[in-house]
Chains A and B, each alone.
Chain A
Amino acid sequence: MQQYDLHGSQHGCRSSLVNMEARPIDAKMITRRCIVARLLEITVAKYRELLTENAGALLVLLPQDYQELSADSRKHLQSLERDLLMEETAIPVYFATETEELREIYEDIKRSSSTDQAATAVEALLSAATANGFQMVINGAQSKSLSDFQITNIQGHLAGFGIEEQLPTVAIVAHYDAFGIAPGLAQGADSNGSGVIALLEIARLFSKLYTNSRTHAKYNLIFLLTGGGKFNYQGTKRWIEDNLDSSETNVLSDISYALCLDSLGSTDELYLHVSKPPRDGSAGGIFVESLENVIKTYYPEVTFKVVHKKINLADDTLAWEHERFSIKRLPGFTLSHIDTPRSDDRNTILDTRGMVDEHKLTRNVQILAEALARHIYNMTEQRNVKLFTDTLAVQSGLVTAWLDQLVTHPRATQLLGKDHILLNSLEETMNRYLKDTKRTTLRADKRDPEFVFYDGAVYKMSAFNVKPAIFDLFLGLAIASYLGIMYFAAVNFSMVSFMEIRLQMSSRTLERMPIS
């Protein structure tokens, strides 16, 4: 399970070592035992009960294929994820995909605990002696805090036509990390793999347009992939601070708007989340208008809505990435298919490859690119121009490939250290399309850290087949009696053979007698 500190409050498991006997969740004695349970057996109430009864550890078996889960159990898992991470727990909680072996273990312990309620003492003793227990063991060191952890942002830009410093800028922002209750299982295909893919595709398309002098727009485009997005958008925050304060860049002073991308990979809905509705005629207003037009003209199946939500400063965390910009009075909005920031869809291990429909993602990228082009080429009047066709079309093959690539590694924030292979490939790709690609890193303040991560995302748990001590006692008795029998046999054996010799000898002598 996740373990992190955010803004001084601690979340998740505080310990990781297990060396306990396995028990099913409905067993009577659970103190200092490792509870093994299927996902659907666990509820928040049950979990609290386990905590109060001093359960030693919890191993949750997840179904192999999330696609087969019903909508109810999805909801159940998502709310469980949220509730378990609300506070810190002392007991280790592990999540494992249910394999054939795990199912056997699970059924074994289920059976052995059902024989716990024997009628007589002898029966109880016998069942105790023949019981088949499992010892769950995770060795190693307690997980440590990653004090030097660096969150990486990658940025690149396309310079507009003309004097670069005097041109307005559009920033396209997406965070690349994922979140789930178990960091090793957080694939985050939709949130925010789809956003990253959309950003890369737009970068590719506009880099093509910008290399041709006839289609070189008078807008600077900044592409920014931020880290720590699931932890209150730490990467975005630092990037804004750096660029606002620094004297050498005036990127943010001329910014028209920041377009944040988050979860674009399914459903036929698109929501533009804003903190302050853009005025008509402003850059943001023109973009929203062209977005509406594109959808209305070419993609009537898509419903588009602008959702206005004020920033709630009393909240611990910000709802959307654009709020980082809005707080600094920079215009920004987030495009997503999710209608409310309270949705659990963005922070779940259920967010796997199967959740994303690459056709819908491709379509959404196409919409986005068209709308953006209409804005920066000032073509809002020409309603029936489709720019990105033929060679300029969004390539669904590329989208699919990126999607597959992004979900091969779990993308929990603490797993994406600064030399992670995924970051390298993202940077390389951006470097191919954009100019001045660079990465900036940030680390938490030593004294009063805003975020602390802990190592250890994937553990190996061993289950040992064990017998109770009473079984050893029985075995000892059996062996002792066997040895006793052996001993008597040996003693009598020499007697038997001796007697046999005697018998044979006497018979021979008897035989000889008459001859002699």
Chain B
Amino acid sequence: MTLFHFGNCVALAYVPYMIFYKCSGLSEYSAFWKCVQAGGAYMFTQLCKMLILATFFPPSEIPMGGFDVLGEFMKSTVDFADLVGIHIVMSRVAGKGQLKFMVAGLGWATAELVMTRFLPLWVGARGIEFDWKYIQMSFDSNISLVHHISVAMLVWLYSRSDLHKSFIPIVMTLLALSCYRPVIVEILIHALGFGSWTLLLSKALFTVCTGLIALQLYLGMSSQNANSYY
């Protein structure tokens, strides 16, 4: 529509990241450069994923509007590479556990935001045509911030040796769920005929649930750790 509308969308998409950076204490550790490195790792991982997808997953001949559950499922399986990437990033970052996954999650999410959201916003939201989808896209980026941080948190939890054994299945399930989130979303679109707003809402709910469980696990563990210092 106008530059003002574009500004609105960008503010909605980016300001939460800044708020998170400022308030989570990352700025106190001057972890900016590490976040950038995490972003670089994101790009590299995406490249690897694309290579794998292009090599091993031939384009399936599906008519437009059709939906290939198995193919999408297989493609989402490749997203486990993301988890590996996040793990590598975290193993490189020296520091407290809290710092590790925050840096990894924030860097990852920011890189994704810049890579996938900025250009559509620039092209679309400045255009003459008004569409709610740019506002939705900005909201979606907020959700994916939470999503990536909770994924990083889960990966970190999984890599810990002192995680209580009974929690491991929960962590595994949550990780798998986060990986297959795109497939689940697709199925929801096709099966239930979700509109864009309900879809956004369900995504938000799903992400918040994952995030809360991960937070609970993390808090339980950090209190354990804190405990052990006594």
Do chains A and B stick together as partners? Answer: yes
Q: Which residues of B contact A486 (CB under 8 A)?
A: 15-16, 19, 142
Interface residues on B, range: 20 to 34
A135 at interface, CB cutoff 8 A: yes
The proximity string for A residues 472-497 relative to B, scoring 1 for CB distances below 8 Å and 0 otherwise, is: 10011001101100110011011001
Of the listed stretches B43-51, B127-135, B150-158, chain A binds: B127-135
Give A contacts to B, CB under 8 Å: 135, 137, 464-467, 469, 472, 475-476, 479-480, 482-483, 486-487, 490-491, 493-494, 497, 500-501, 504-505, 508-509, 512
Q: Which residues of B contact A505 (CB under 8 A)?
A: 223, 226-227
- Whether the Cβ atoms of B24 and A472 lie closer than 8 Å is no
Supposing A472-B4, A505-B223 touch, asked if A490 and B23 sit within 8 A by C-beta, the answer is: yes
The CA of A377 and the CA of B90, in the complex, are separated in Å by: 104
- Whether the Cβ atoms of A501 and B222 lie closer than 8 Å is yes
- Whether the Cβ atoms of A479 and B8 lie closer than 8 Å is yes
- Whether the Cβ atoms of B23 and A472 lie closer than 8 Å is no
Q: Which residues of B contact A480 (CB under 8 A)?
A: 11
The CA of A493 and the CA of B127, in the complex, are separated in Å by: 37
Supposing A464-B128, A466-B129, A482-B12 touch, asked if A500 and B219 sit within 8 A by C-beta, the answer is: yes
Q: Which residues of B contact A497 (CB under 8 A)?
A: 215, 219
The proximity string for B residues 1-43 relative to A, scoring 1 for CB distances below 8 Å and 0 otherwise, is: 1101101100110011001100111000000000000000000
The CA of A385 and the CA of B179, in the complex, are separated in Å by: 90
B230 at interface, CB cutoff 8 A: yes
Q: Which chain B residue lies CB-closest to A473?
A: B4
Supposing A497-B215, A505-B227 touch, asked if A479 and B23 sit within 8 A by C-beta, the answer is: no
- Whether the Cβ atoms of B16 and A476 lie closer than 8 Å is no
**Contact partner of A464 among B19, B129, B220, CB < 8 A?**
B129
The CA of A505 and the CA of B222, in the complex, are separated in Å by: 10
Supposing A467-B1, A490-B23, A505-B223 touch, asked if A483 and B12 sit within 8 A by C-beta, the answer is: yes
- Whether the Cβ atoms of B12 and A135 lie closer than 8 Å is no
Q: In the complex, what's the smallest C-beta–C-beta distance from A367 to chain B, in angstroms?
A: 55
- Whether the Cβ atoms of A501 and B226 lie closer than 8 Å is yes
3 A-B pairs closest in CB distance: A490-B23, A504-B223, A464-B129
- Whether the Cβ atoms of A475 and B23 lie closer than 8 Å is no
Q: Which residues of A contact B19 (CB under 8 A)?
A: 483, 486-487, 490
List 16 A-B pairs, Cβ < 8 Å: A464-B128, A464-B129, A465-B131, A466-B129, A466-B130, A467-B1, A472-B8, A475-B8, A480-B11, A482-B12, A490-B24, A494-B25, A497-B215, A501-B222, A501-B226, A505-B226
Q: Which residues of B contact A493 (CB under 8 A)?
A: 23
- Whether the Cβ atoms of B4 and A487 lie closer than 8 Å is no
Q: Which residues of A contact B12 (CB under 8 A)?
A: 479, 482-483
| 16 more A-B residue pairs beyond the given contacts A465-B131, A466-B128, A483-B11, with a C-beta to C-beta distance below 8 A | A464-B128, A464-B130, A465-B129, A466-B1, A469-B4, A472-B1, A476-B7, A482-B12, A483-B15, A483-B19, A486-B15, A490-B19, A490-B24, A494-B23, A494-B24, A508-B223
- Whether the Cβ atoms of A465 and B223 lie closer than 8 Å is no
The CA of A480 and the CA of B230, in the complex, are separated in Å by: 44
Q: In the complex, what's the smallest C-beta–C-beta distance from B116 to chain A, in angstroms?
A: 20
The CA of A465 and the CA of B124, in the complex, are separated in Å by: 13
The CA of A422 and the CA of B20, in the complex, are separated in Å by: 68
Q: Which residues of A contact B135 (CB under 8 A)?
A: 475
Q: Which chain B residue lies CB-closest to A475?
A: B8
Q: Which residues of B contact A500 (CB under 8 A)?
A: 219
Q: In the complex, what's the smallest C-beta–C-beta distance from B196 to chain A, in angstroms?
A: 15
Q: Which chain A residue lies CB-closest to B135?
A: A475
The CA of A490 and the CA of B23, in the complex, are separated in Å by: 6
- Whether the Cβ atoms of A479 and B130 lie closer than 8 Å is no
The CA of A490 and the CA of B20, in the complex, are separated in Å by: 7
The proximity string for B residues 116-151 relative to A, scoring 1 for CB distances below 8 Å and 0 otherwise, is: 000000000001111100010000001000000000
The proximity string for B residues 167-208 relative to A, scoring 1 for CB distances below 8 Å and 0 otherwise, is: 000000000000000000000000000000000000000000
- Whether the Cβ atoms of A137 and B2 lie closer than 8 Å is no
**Contact partner of B223 among A491, A494, A501, CB < 8 A?**
A501
- Whether the Cβ atoms of B4 and A508 lie closer than 8 Å is no
Name the residue in A465, A472, A512 with the highest tally of chain B Cβ atoms < 10 Å from its Cβ: A472
Q: In the complex, what's the smallest C-beta–C-beta distance from B106 to chain A, in angstroms?
A: 13
The CA of A515 and the CA of B23, in the complex, are separated in Å by: 38
- Whether the Cβ atoms of B5 and A479 lie closer than 8 Å is no
The CA of A491 and the CA of B7, in the complex, are separated in Å by: 24
- Whether the Cβ atoms of B223 and A476 lie closer than 8 Å is no
- Whether the Cβ atoms of A508 and B128 lie closer than 8 Å is no
Q: In the complex, what's the smallest C-beta–C-beta distance from B166 to chain A, in angstroms?
A: 18
Q: In the complex, what's the smallest C-beta–C-beta distance from A497 to chain B, in angstroms?
A: 6
